[in-house]
């Protein structure tokens, strides 16, 4: 549990309050129990003295233990008769109960008057009294001490259950695309959190609307530009057919290359807008291996033209994902296409599809120039290009891959490949069974 979490703070604060309350209650209970135990033993002295005064108990001729008692633990009966020698501390004490020092220790003594001027001293060692009173008081604390861990665990569980709806809301936002995350589910949350929840709903709604407008603008702009750019490319091809001058053909080739880049950028923008849009319905299970083979077949010609060894390293036919076939094709085409593009002649690009720990995994490994470790975190940003890269591109390929992963709550990693200078890309998503 994180120290800056609300659950941790509440649990800590309530635990400290519980301990302080138990300490105060235990101290008060201990003091009362100690006082009551001492009063009970004083009552025992009074009862013993009254029994002797009433003749219900024999008065010994000299100091003696109460019959049937333990020598070290119980009462001492001392007769005090007129004219007889009596222990100095006792003879001078008035009637009543006293605490004195006698015979090398502390004593609690009751002086009880009898008939014919006689008195009797009923005494008990204070050490014995204190031990009995202390143990009696301690026994009263045992139930309270046993309840402390039970109450702490119960209190922590109550706090966890109280804040559980907030955790479910956070999980909903984290695991859904922006449009669906804005539609927070109706759950029972504490009244103190309701204003914050309503504010978050409004903020997410405004943010979703703004993003939707931006996505529509990009998609519409890209769509509107497709036809003019296609027409421009066709006209350039027509012009090339009638040109005889080599210099003009060279300049036209540069123009055609620029038009091709614009056309590729528009296609990528349209793909980005499509994968960022909310899913129209729950996707059906799709076999990943077949899509991987199709993508490799599409990219083999460009890999052969560059002299790159492109192939499948591992292919498990039972790897299935609940996702759009078009989205998975786009993801694999962009990742493998990027690897082929940046891999030098004689390099190697391997695609793997398999199931591991309940996840369907799509892995691409290359031995290209790689990306500096400091730049890896930016590789999935839109329009990001590695500094010094010689190959041309839109900078949207991996951004589209990240959008696909976010759409299906998948996990992507990009790290240096073991044993080569290249990279290892990995996409993971909980596997499903084929329909």
pLDDT in tens, 199-209: 777 777 777 77
Largest CA distance in the chain: 155
Residue 342, pLDDT > 70, answer yes
Residue 79: pLDDT band (50, 70, 90) is confident
Q: Which residue has the higher pLDDT, 153 or 265?
A: 153
**What local confidence, expressed as pLDDT, does residue 354 receive?**
93
| Beta carbons within 8 Å of 368's beta carbon, 6+ residues apart | 339, 342, 343, 344, 347, 421, 422, 423
May I ask the CATH architecture of the domain 284-430? Answer: 2-Layer Sandwich (3.30)
**What local confidence, expressed as pLDDT, does residue 248 receive?**
72
> How confident is the prediction for the chain on average, in pLDDT?
79
**What local confidence, expressed as pLDDT, does residue 37 receive?**
81
User: What would the mean pLDDT of 285-309 be, rounded to a whole number?
Assistant: 91
Residue 188: pLDDT band (50, 70, 90) is low
Residue 28, pLDDT > 80, answer yes
State how far the Cα of 387 lies from the Cα of 378, in Å rounded to an integer: 12
Q: What are the backbone dihedrals phi and psi of residue 366, each rounded to the nearest 5 degrees, phi first? A: -135, 165
135 sits in the region (left: phi over 0; alpha: psi -120 to 50; else beta) called: alpha
Give percent of the chain with pLDDT exceeding 70: 79
- b or e along 364-379 (b: 16 or more beta carbons within 10 Å of the residue's beta carbon)? bbbbbbbbeeeebeeb
**What local confidence, expressed as pLDDT, does residue 17 receive?**
86
**What local confidence, expressed as pLDDT, does residue 115 receive?**
82
User: What would the mean pLDDT of 237-243 be, rounded to a whole number?
Assistant: 71
Residue 279, pLDDT > 70, answer no
Count the neighbouring beta carbons within 10 Å of the beta carbon of residue 296.
19
User: What would the mean pLDDT of 78-106 be, rounded to a whole number?
Assistant: 81
Q: Which residue has the higher pLDDT, 107 or 271?
A: 107
**What local confidence, expressed as pLDDT, does residue 310 receive?**
92
Quick one: tokens of 234? 């066709």
pLDDT tens per residue across span 362-405: 999 998 888 888 888 888 888 777 766 666 666 777 888 888 88
Residue 332, class by beta-carbon neighbours within 10 Å (0-12 exposed, 13-18 middle, 19+ buried)?
A: buried
Can you list the alpha helix ranges (DSSP code H) found in 307-429? Answer: 325-342, 397-407
Range 190-278 has CATH code 1.10.287: yes
150 sits in the region (left: phi over 0; alpha: psi -120 to 50; else beta) called: alpha
346 sits in the region (left: phi over 0; alpha: psi -120 to 50; else beta) called: left
- The CB-side HSE value for 431 (13 A sphere, CA atoms) comes to 20
State how far the Cα of 6 lies from the Cα of 3, in Å rounded to an integer: 8
Which of these, 128, 187, 190, 121, lies nearest to 158 by C-alpha position?
A: 190
**What local confidence, expressed as pLDDT, does residue 252 receive?**
72
Q: Which residue has the higher pLDDT, 379 or 354?
A: 354
Q: How is the chain split into domains, by residue range?
A: 6-131, 190-278, 284-430
Which of these, 43, 147, 51, 150, lies nearest to 97 by C-alpha position?
A: 43
Quick one: tokens of 179? 């449009």
**What local confidence, expressed as pLDDT, does residue 428 receive?**
93
Residue 49: pLDDT band (50, 70, 90) is confident
Is-contact 325 286, C-beta < 8 A?
yes
User: What would the mean pLDDT of 89-106 be, rounded to a whole number?
Assistant: 84
User: What would the mean pLDDT of 339-357 be, rounded to a whole number?
Assistant: 90
3-state helix, strand, coil in the chain (%, to 5): 55, 15, 25
Q: Which residue has the higher pLDDT, 140 or 176?
A: 140
Residue 91, pLDDT > 60, answer yes
State how far the Cα of 165 lies from the Cα of 163, in Å rounded to an integer: 6
State how far the Cα of 420 lies from the Cα of 227, in Å rounded to an integer: 43
Count the neighbouring beta carbons within 10 Å of the beta carbon of residue 397.
22
User: What would the mean pLDDT of 411-415 be, rounded to a whole number?
Assistant: 90
**Is-same-fold flag (190-278; 284-430)?**
no
Which of these, 354, 369, 348, 278, lies nearest to 319 by C-alpha position?
A: 354
Quick one: tokens of 293? 């083979």
**What local confidence, expressed as pLDDT, does residue 424 receive?**
92
**What local confidence, expressed as pLDDT, does residue 353 receive?**
93
Residue 241, pLDDT > 80, answer no
User: What would the mean pLDDT of 68-84 be, rounded to a whole number?
Assistant: 70
**What local confidence, expressed as pLDDT, does residue 90 receive?**
80
Quick one: tokens of 275? 């994968």
| Beta carbons within 8 Å of 41's beta carbon, 6+ residues apart | 108, 124, 129, 132, 133
């Amino acid at each position: 549990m994180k120290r800056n979490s609300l659950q941790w703070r509440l649990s800590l604060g309530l635990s400290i309050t519980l301990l302080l309350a138990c300490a105060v209650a235990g101290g008060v209970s201990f003091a009362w129990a100690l006082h009551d135990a001492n009063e009970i033993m004083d009552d025992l002295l009074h009862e013993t003295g009254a029994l002797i005064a009433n003749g219900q108990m024999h008065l010994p001729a000299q100091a003696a233990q109460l019959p049937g008692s333990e020598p070290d633990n119980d009462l001492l009966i001392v007769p005090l008769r007129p004219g007889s020698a009596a222990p100095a501390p006792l003879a001078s004490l008035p009637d009543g109960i006293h605490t004195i020092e006698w015979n090398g220790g502390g004593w609690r003594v009751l002086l009880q008057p009898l008939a014919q001027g006689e008195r009797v001293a009923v005494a008990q060692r204070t050490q014995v009294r204190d031990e009995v009173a202390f143990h009696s008081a301690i026994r009263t604390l045992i139930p309270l001490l046993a309840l402390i861990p039970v109450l702490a665990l119960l209190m922590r569980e109550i706090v966890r259950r109280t804040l559980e709806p907030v955790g479910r809301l956070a999980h909903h936002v984290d695991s859904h695309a922006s449009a669906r995350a804005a539609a927070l589910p109706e759950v029972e949350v504490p009244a103190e959190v309701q204003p914050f929840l309503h504010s978050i709903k409004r903020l997410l709604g405004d943010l979703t609307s703004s993003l939707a407008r931006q996505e529509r603008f990009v998609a519409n702009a890209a769509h509107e530009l497709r036809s003019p750019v296609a027409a421009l490319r066709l006209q350039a091809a027509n012009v090339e057919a009638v040109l005889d001058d080599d210099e003009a053909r060279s300049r036209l080739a540069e123009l055609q290359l620029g038009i091709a880049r614009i056309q590729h950028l528009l296609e990528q923008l349209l793909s980005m807008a499509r994968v960022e849009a909310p899913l129209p319905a729950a996707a059906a299970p799709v076999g990943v291996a077949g899509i991987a083979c199709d993508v490799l077949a599409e990219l083999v010609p460009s890999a052969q033209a560059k002299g790159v060894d492109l192939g499948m390293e591992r292919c498990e036919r039972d790897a299935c994902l609940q996702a759009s076939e078009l989205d998975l094709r786009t993801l694999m085409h962009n990742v493998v296409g990027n690897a082929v593009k940046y891999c030098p002649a004689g390099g190697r690009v391997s695609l793997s599809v398999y199931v591991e720990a309940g996840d369907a995994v799509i892995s691409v490994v290359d031995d290209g120039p790689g990306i500096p470790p400091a730049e890896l975190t930016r590789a999935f940003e839109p329009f990001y290009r590695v500094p010094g890269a010689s190959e041309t591109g839109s900078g949207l390929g991996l951004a589209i891959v990240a959008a696909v992963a976010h759409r299906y709550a998948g996990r992507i990693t990009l790290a240096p490949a073991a044993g080569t200078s290249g990279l290892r890309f990995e996409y993971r998503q909980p596997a499903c069974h084929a329909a």
